Amino acid sequence: MVNKLTRGFWPKVARIILRNRILILFLVAAATVFLAMQWKNIQFSNTEANILPNDHPASVQYSAFTKIFGEEGNAIVFAVRDAALFQPNNFNRWNKFSKQLEAFPEIDFVVSTDNLKVLEKDNEKQEFVIEDFIKNPPETQAEVTQLKDHLLNNLPFYNGLIYNPDSETIQTIAYLDKDIMSTPVRNEFILNDLRDLVQNFEEETQLDMHISGMPYIRTWNTKSIVDEIGIFIVAALLVTSLIFFFFFRSFRATFISMCVVVIGVMWAFGILGLLQYEITILTALIPPLIIVIGIPNCIFLINKYQQEVKKHGNQALSLQRVISKIGNATLMTNITTASGFATFIILDSDLLKEFGIVASINIIGIFILSLLIIPIIYSFMALPKTKHLKHLNKKWIDLFVDWMERMVRHYRIGVYVTTLIVLILSIIGIYQIEITGSRIEDLPKNTHYFKDIRFFEQEFDGIMPMEIVVDTKRKNGAVRPATLRRMDQLGTVIQETPELSRPISMVDLVKYSKQAFYNGIPKYYQLPTSQENTFIMDMVRKSSAEGDLLESFVDSTGQTARLTTYLRDVKIDRMEEIETDILDAISKYFPQERYNVFMTGKALLFLKGTKYLVKNLLISLALAIGLISLFMAYLFRSFRMIIISLIPNLLPLVITAGLMGYLGIPIKPSTILVFSIAFGISVDDTIHFLAKYRQELTANKWQIKRSVYAALRETGVSMFYTSIVLFFGFSVFIISSFGGTKALGGLVSATLLFAMLANLILLPSLLLSLERSIANKQVLKKPQIDILPKEEVSLKDK
C-alpha cells in the first residue's frame, strides 16, 4: 500500500512543480525575502556557551555564588613588563591611563598604582585608615624608584594582584559594569574605545601593553568567529563551484547550482534570525555546511537530467523523471543527514540544541530548494548541448569504475585482509586517545589576545577564575579566628599547586591588618596570634575604611566568605587532579557539620561542561546510529541488510578515531562532533547503492553478481562526485584559525573519504561474499518505500 502511494506520489509532485513553475518561483522568492528580513534579528553571542543545563549541580552552585558576590569574570587586565615604565614620564602616563579607564561609564572601578590604597594605623584613634599609595605625582626618578621599591618590597598584599616581584611587571585591573557584560555595548567598548586608548598609550610611551581577561577574550573571540563566517562562505562557494565545473564542464550547471546554495545560505541566516538564535562557534558553521551538503543534491539532479536527455532528448519527460526518480532518493538521503544533526536536539546543552535545530531544518530546506529550482530553471532553458554531456563519457571516470569493479570481482580477499589490518591498527590507535582539552586550546594561536593569555599565565599564573565559597552557617562566622586559620591552611595547599595563583581572601586582609598594626613591617604580614587577634580585630571593626574591602571577600552578614584563585591553561585530566586535591583539603580542614564549602568559577564550569558534553555527544552518536538503523530497517525490512549497511559506515568512524590516537588529537567537544555529522552524511551513499542493488536484483531475476556490478557502475560515478565535493567542501574548515573548527573540517573530510571507499569497495564485496545469506526474496522483502522507482530499470533496458 505504501509503495503504491509513493509510486503515485512523486509523479504527482513532478506534475505540480512543472505546471506551477512561475508560482513556485514567486513563492521561493517571497520566502527568501521574508527570511532576509529576519537577518536584522541575528545577534552574535556576547556570553560564554551555556554547556551545562541550569539544574546541573555545578550550575546551581555557580548561580548561588553570583547571587552573593556577583559575576566574577568581569575584569580586564592590563600589564607592562618593561623597566622603562618606571621612568617619571612613562609612570605618570601609566597612572593617567587608569584615570582615563575609570572615566568610561562602562567601567565600574579600577585597581591600579594610581588609586592603590595602603592600610595604615592611626595611633591616636586606635583604628586603621586607608591612605593613597601615590599622594602626589612623582616628578623625579628618585621618587618613582622610591614608590616602586615600596610597592615591591613592603606591600605583600598586592603581590600577584598588582605586581610580579620577580619580573617587576605592573598590572592594572578594570572591572566592567556587570549590566553590560552580556550586551553588545561590551563589544563596542572593547573593540573601539578601549583599543584606541591602548594604542594612544603605546604610541606615546613606546611601551608594549598586554591585555587579557575573560570579557576581553570573549569579545575578540566573537569578532574572530564573525570574520570567519564570510571567509568560510566564500571559500566553500569557490571550492565547490570549481569542483562542480571540473566534473560537468558547464558554466550554466555551475551557475544554477551556486544560485541554489546561495539562496540556501540566505535561508540559513534567516532561520537563525527568525528563531532569534545567537551566532556561536557552531551556528557559524551552518551557512558553509549548507553549501557543502547542498551541492551533492545538485549533482544528483543535474546528472540525472543530463542522463535522461542523452537517452531520449525529450526535455519535459527528462524533467518529470528527474523529480519522480531522484526526488525520493534525495529526500531519503537528506533525511538521514538531517537525522545525524537532529540528534543534538535531545541534549540539554543549548549550544548543541540550537545547532541541531538550525542545521536539520536547513538541510531539509536545501533539499526543497534543489528539487524546486533546478528542474524549473532547466525547463526555461534549451536542451543541454553535446559538449555539456561529454562528462558522462569521460575515460578517467570509466577507469575509476573499472578499478572498483576489478577490486570487487578479483581481490575480495585482499579487501577483507586490508580492512582487518586497518581495523586492528585503528583499535590500537583508539586506546591512545585521551579525553582532554583546555579552555583556550581551540582559540586562534596567532592572535594578539592568545599571546597575551600566555603572558598573563607566565606573570600572574593564569586568568581563569576559580572560587571556593565557605559558608560558616552562622552570622559573622567568616571572620572568626578558627575560620581564618582553616582558610589560610587551604590557601597554602592552593599556593603549593603550580598551576594555581596565590589565593586572595579575607585572610589576606586580616594579614594586612596585622602588618599595618606593626607599622607596615612586611615580616608581620601573617595571621594574628590568639593574643593579637582581640585588639587587632577590634581595630578592624572600628575602621569604616575597611568596609569597602570587606565587601569583596565576605557577604553582608559575615557568614559566607570567598577565596579566589586563578588557574593556568591545563588539560582536563590535570584539572581533575587539582580539583580532587583541593576537595581533599577542604574535607580535611572544614568539617561538614560546621561548614558548607564548595568550589565553583568559570574554570570549574569548563571542566564539568566538557565532560558533560563528551558524554552526551557519545549518546548522540549512539542515537544517530540507532535512528538510522531503524530507518534502514523501515526501508529494507531486513536485519541482515542493516548489519551489512552499518559495517561500511561504522568502519570509517573507527579508522578516524584510530588516526586521532596516532596523531595525538584528543576527544573533546569539537572533535567528538565529527562522528555524528560524518555518520549521518556517509550513510547516504549506502542508501543509494543498496536501493539500486535491490532494484537490479528484481530486474535481473536475482542474479547476484550481475546486480552488484550494475549497481556499482550506475551509482559509482555519482557517489564519487558527491564524496569528492564533500571531502573538499569540509576541507575548507581547515583554514579556520580555531583549533576545534580546523579539527572538525579535517576529520570529517577524512571520514567521508574512508566512507566512500568502504561503500564502493567493501559493501559490494560483502554483498557478493554473503549472497546466499542476504540476496534472496525472503531477506530482501518488499520495502516499505521504493527509493528508486521501477520505471528506471525498464527505461535502462530499453
Share of the chain above pLDDT 70, in %: 88
pLDDT of residue 769: 79
664 located within any domain:
yes
* Structure confidence at residue 788 as a pLDDT band (50, 70, 90): low
608: pLDDT strictly greater than 60 = yes
C-alpha to C-alpha distances, 136 to 113, 147, 201, nearest whole angstrom: 12, 11, 21
201 and 232 fall within a common domain: no
Share of the chain above pLDDT 90, in %: 13
386 and 238 fall within a common domain: yes
Flag the least confident range among 82-96, 359-373, 661-675.
661-675
161 and 277 fall within a common domain: no
Q: Which of 136-145, 210-219, 298-307, 627-636 has the highest mean pLDDT?
A: 136-145
What does the DSSP assignment read for 602-613? Answer: HHHHHHHHHHHH
Q: At 640, which CATH number?
A: 1.20.1640.10
Residue appearing with cell numbers 565576605: 554
Q: Which of 376-385, 440-449, 473-482 has the highest mean pLDDT?
A: 473-482
Q: How far apart are CA 726 and CA 732, in angstroms?
A: 10
775: pLDDT strictly greater than 60 = no
83 and 170 fall within a common domain: yes
Q: What backbone torsions phi and psi does residue 298 show, to the nearest 5 degrees?
A: -65, -40
Region 192-219 average pLDDT: 88
Q: What is the pLDDT of residues 37-67, one digit of tens each?
A: 988 887 766 556 557 777 788 888 888 888 8
797: pLDDT strictly greater than 50 = no
- Judged on CB neighbours under 10 Å (0-12, 13-18, 19+), 100 is middle
Q: Which of 159, 190, 212 is the last residue of a domain?
A: 212
Region 727-753 average pLDDT: 82
Q: What backbone torsions phi and psi does residue 609 show, to the nearest 5 degrees?
A: -65, -40
Query: Measuring CA to CA, which residue among 13, 753, 717 is closest to residue 299?
Result: 717
161 and 301 fall within a common domain: no
774 located within any domain:
yes
620: pLDDT strictly greater than 80 = no
* Structure confidence at residue 5 as a pLDDT band (50, 70, 90): very low
795: pLDDT strictly greater than 50 = no
272 and 194 fall within a common domain: no
* Structure confidence at residue 524 as a pLDDT band (50, 70, 90): confident
Q: Which of 185, 212, 239 is the last residue of a domain?
A: 212
pLDDT of residue 545: 47
561 located within any domain:
no
202 and 130 fall within a common domain: yes
Amino acid identity of 279?
A: I
* Structure confidence at residue 361 as a pLDDT band (50, 70, 90): very high
pLDDT of residue 547: 47
182 and 240 fall within a common domain: no
pLDDT of residue 391: 57
193 and 307 fall within a common domain: no
* Structure confidence at residue 541 as a pLDDT band (50, 70, 90): low
538 located within any domain:
no
Beta bridge partners of 174: 76, 110
228 and 206 fall within a common domain: no
pLDDT of residue 486: 92
4: pLDDT strictly greater than 50 = no
Q: How far apart are CA 725 and CA 734, in angstroms?
A: 15
581 located within any domain:
no
pTM for the predicted model, two decimal places:
0.75
Q: What is the pLDDT of residues 304-357, one digit of tens each?
A: 787 777 777 787 888 888 887 777 777 877 887 888 788 788 777 777 888 889
pLDDT of residue 566: 86
168: pLDDT strictly greater than 60 = yes
Task: For the chain, give the mean pLDDT.
Answer: 81
pLDDT of residue 669: 66
Q: What is the pLDDT of residues 230-269, one digit of tens each?
A: 888 888 888 888 887 877 777 888 888 888 989 998 999 9
Q: Which of 482-496, 549-563, 570-584, 628-642 has the highest mean pLDDT?
A: 482-496
* Structure confidence at residue 798 as a pLDDT band (50, 70, 90): very low
- The residue with greater pLDDT, 433 or 392, is 433
Flag the least confident range among 109-113, 348-352, 534-538, 670-674.
534-538
Residue appearing with cell numbers 579566628: 481
Number of domains in the chain: 2
Query: Measuring CA to CA, which residue among 220, 351, 235, 278 is closest to residue 736?
Result: 235
150 and 261 fall within a common domain: no
Q: Which of 42-46, 420-424, 442-446 has the highest mean pLDDT?
A: 420-424
205 and 322 fall within a common domain: no
Q: How far apart are CA 556 and CA 475, in angstroms?
A: 9
Q: What backbone torsions phi and psi does residue 277 show, to the nearest 5 degrees?
A: -90, 150
pLDDT of residue 341: 82
789 located within any domain:
yes
pLDDT of residue 489: 92
Are 767 and 693 in contact by the 8 Å Cβ rule? The answer is yes
754: pLDDT strictly greater than 50 = yes
Q: Which of 404-408, 508-512, 739-743, 789-793 has the highest mean pLDDT?
A: 508-512
651 located within any domain:
yes
Q: What is the pLDDT of residues 8-46, one digit of tens each?
A: 677 888 888 888 889 999 999 999 999 999 888 877 665
Q: Which domain holds residue 80?
A: 74-212
Flag the least confident range among 96-105, 229-238, 580-589.
229-238
Region 286-302 average pLDDT: 83
403 located within any domain:
yes
Q: Which of 192, 212, 232 is the last residue of a domain?
A: 212
- The residue with greater pLDDT, 794 or 50, is 50
Q: How far apart are CA 502 and CA 505, in angstroms?
A: 10
* Structure confidence at residue 778 as a pLDDT band (50, 70, 90): very low
Sequence-distant (6+) residues with CB within 8 A of 502 are 159, 160, 461, 491, 494, 495, 565
Roughly how many angstroms between the first and final C-alpha of the chain, as a whole number? Answer: 28
CB under 8 Å, gap of 24 or more: what pairs does 572-575 form? 572/435, 572/436, 572/437, 572/438, 572/607, 572/610, 572/611, 572/668, 573/434, 573/435, 573/436, 574/499, 575/603, 575/607
Q: What is the pLDDT of residues 710-732, one digit of tens each?
A: 878 777 777 787 788 888 888 88
Q: What backbone torsions phi and psi does residue 83 show, to the nearest 5 degrees?
A: -60, -25
pLDDT of residue 584: 93
pLDDT of residue 389: 61
